[in-house]
Structures are given as C-alpha cells and as structure tokens.
C-alpha cells in the first residue's frame, strides 16, 4: 500500500535526479538496480529501504534527510503552512530546472549579480506595511 511518506520520498528522489539531469537508467545503474525499480520508488509504489536510501543519497550527492525535507512543514497547532517552505511542485517544473541549471552554469560574478537582481525584485513585489494612527 502506498504511504504519504513513500510518495514524498519518491517525489524528492525524482526532483533530485532531474535536477542533476540523470535518467532513471543512469541512476539505477549507479546503485545496481533496474530502472523499473527507480520508477516504482518515484511513484511511491515501492518503499525505499534504509540501505537503498543510503545508496541513492550517495549517488545523488545529498544527505539522507534531503528525502524527508518538507514533511513537517505545517504548524502543528494552527495547521498553517510555513511561508518559508517552497511549494512542493515548484522544483518539479521544467522551468525551475532550466533556471537552476543555467544559474549554476554561470561564473561566480554573473551568478551573484543575478541573485542580487532576483532579491531586489522580490523586495519590490512585497507589499509595504504602513502604520495607521488609532
């Protein structure tokens, strides 16, 4: 039976694999399994064992906790979503992957300028708070 945690781990696996530009076949060969098993992990049909999760984390160059990030993003008291957590589907989009790849293909100086530009645009988009006299 599919579990929400298994689905989450599978989505994180797919996200990281795509970010690195790896095919299911390439990743499967890296850890010594068939690509169909990677498919089953990614859709949550099969649970990833602790040993396999370790191998996948090594192959994808991430710590094991990467696969669990975002599971506890809701405030347990209010149920509100933490505003600092990125929506789960954002990193799955092709546009995001293309942007990340282009960003890391740049040298340090242009990358810093692009980051500064993005931050300044983010600040401009935030609504300004104003004090209201009572």
Please write the tens of the pLDDT for every residue from 6-51: 999 999 999 999 988 899 999 999 999 999 999 999 999 999 999 9
Tell me the whole-structure pTM to 2 decimals.
Answer: 0.61
Closest CA to 50 of 69, 68, 28: 68
pLDDT given at position 63: 93
| Distance of alpha carbon 108 from alpha carbon 39, whole angstroms | 36
pLDDT given at position 66: 92
| Distance of alpha carbon 53 from alpha carbon 31, whole angstroms | 10
């Amino acid at each position: 039976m599919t579990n929400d945690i298994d689905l989450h781990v599978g989505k994180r696996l797919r996200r990281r694999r795509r970010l690195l530009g790896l095919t299911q076949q390439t990743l499967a060969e890296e850890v010594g399994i068939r690509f169909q098993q990677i498919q089953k992990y990614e859709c949550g049909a099969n649970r990833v064992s602790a040993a396999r999760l370790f191998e996948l984390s090594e192959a994808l160059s991430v710590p094991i906790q990467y696969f669990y990030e975002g599971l506890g993003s809701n405030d347990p008291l209010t149920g509100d979503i933490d505003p600092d957590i990125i929506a789960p589907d954002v990193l799955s989009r092709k546009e995001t992957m293309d942007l990340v790849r282009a960003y890391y293909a740049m040298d340090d100086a242009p990358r810093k300028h692009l980051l500064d530009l993005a931050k300044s645009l983010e600040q401009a988009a935030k609504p300004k708070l104003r004090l209201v006299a009572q």
